[in-house]
Amino acid sequence: MSLHPVRIKLYTMTTATLMVAGLVATTVIPGTRGAIAAEAKLATEVSTWEGLLPPADLERIVQIYVEDMKRGMRSPGLFARGRKKVAWQARVIAVLGNIGVMTMKGENAQKAAALRAAGIELSEAAEDRNFKAAKKAYDAIGDYPAKIKPVDSTEVMDWNDVIDSETLMKSVSSIDSNAGKANKMSDRDFKKESMQFASLSQLMACLAVISREHEEGEDWKKWCDEMREGSIVMAKAYAKGDLEAAKEAHNTLQKSCNDCHQVYRSE
């Protein structure tokens, strides 16, 4: 799947510079006069990720995905039924590894590179229906960070080689769906699960940064920036256990997503 523009909306705009989680972004505000601008620090800059995903948060998100993939990795039969989900979830693991390569030093960076490699291996094995290879890669991911074997190379991979646009959108859609379910929980249940939803929203902000690398359009980059900023607001609401604030943040994020989908759609 690739993303294609099907309709272009024209706006008159001005810009407002916001500081969000250590990121400097120029956000476009519809309805006012001014030049179109959608500048943000690139996904290849270490400073982007140092503010957005500290190592402890990265490790927590890895474990969320390891746990979610567990059932599909229990047997060849379960793997056969769940391998498509495992394939895209493993690419998210690879994303986290690539971020870790940029933000960590020494052996920790080598372990992050090993995590990235295991994520890619798991994804490819799932696509190839190879349970044995998939199980080996999954077990390596489960050992992160304490027991995973470091690798020598800590070269940063191009984001397009780590995750494609289709998998990015599947990952974003899954997190968005979880957010919608979270916002329908009772206040008591919400507070029990809110930190996990905070972590997933934090991941969505990361995916928004990477999404900028997959299209050149200024409108596309603007919506990616809005998704990043909205995800950060939502993550903070979840972290506070504030259900009403989380609902409001999710509704705002949904509007931005829907506006984007009017122009860019999957095929």
Mean pLDDT within 236-260: 83
Question: How far, in Å, CA of 98 to CA of 114, rounded?
Answer: 10
Looking at residue 215, what is its pLDDT? 72
Q: How confident is residue 27, by pLDDT bands cut at 50, 70 and 90?
A: very low
The per-residue pLDDT for range 185-200, each reduced to its tens digit, is 888 888 888 899 999 9
Question: How far, in Å, CA of 83 to CA of 89, rounded?
Answer: 10
Looking at residue 192, what is its pLDDT? 87
Is 52 exposed, middle or buried, given 0-12, 13-18 or 19+ CB atoms closer than 10 A?
Answer: buried
Instruction: Tokens for 113, please give them.
Output: 């590179």
Considering Cα of 72, then 134, then 81, then 3, what sign does the dihedral take? positive
AA identity, residue 227: M
Question: How far, in Å, CA of 85 to CA of 101, rounded?
Answer: 25
- Cα angle value 246/40/118 (rounded, 5°): 75
> Hey, how many other C-beta atoms are within 10 angstroms of the C-beta on 126?
28
AA identity, residue 11: Y
Looking at residue 263, what is its pLDDT? 61
pLDDT at 226 over 70: yes
Mean pLDDT within 171-185: 88
pLDDT at 250 over 70: yes
Is 140:103 a contact under the CB 8 Å cutoff? no
Among 40, 31, 3, smallest CA distance to 224 is for: 40
Question: How far, in Å, CA of 121 to CA of 137, rounded?
Answer: 6
* Across 37-51, 96-110, 193-207, 231-245, least confident range: 37-51
- Which tops the pLDDT comparison, 217 or 156? 156
pTM of the predicted model as reported, rounded to 2 decimal places:
0.80
> Where does residue 129 fall: left (phi above 0), alpha (psi -120 to 50 degrees), or beta otherwise?
left
Mean pLDDT of the chain: 80
Considering Cα of 98, then 103, then 107, then 108, what sign does the dihedral take? negative
Residue corresponding to tokens 């992160």: 144
Is 197:174 a contact under the CB 8 Å cutoff? no
Instruction: Tokens for 159, please give them.
Output: 């984001």
Is 89:131 a contact under the CB 8 Å cutoff? no
Is 218:38 a contact under the CB 8 Å cutoff? yes
> Hey, how many other C-beta atoms are within 10 angstroms of the C-beta on 173?
12
Instruction: Tokens for 82, please give them.
Output: 């769940």
Mean pLDDT within 158-172: 91
The percentage of residues in the chain with a pLDDT greater than 70, rounded to a whole number, is: 79
pLDDT at 35 over 80: no
The per-residue pLDDT for range 64-120, each reduced to its tens digit, is 999 999 999 999 999 999 999 999 999 999 999 999 999 999 999 999 999 999 999
Looking at residue 181, what is its pLDDT? 87
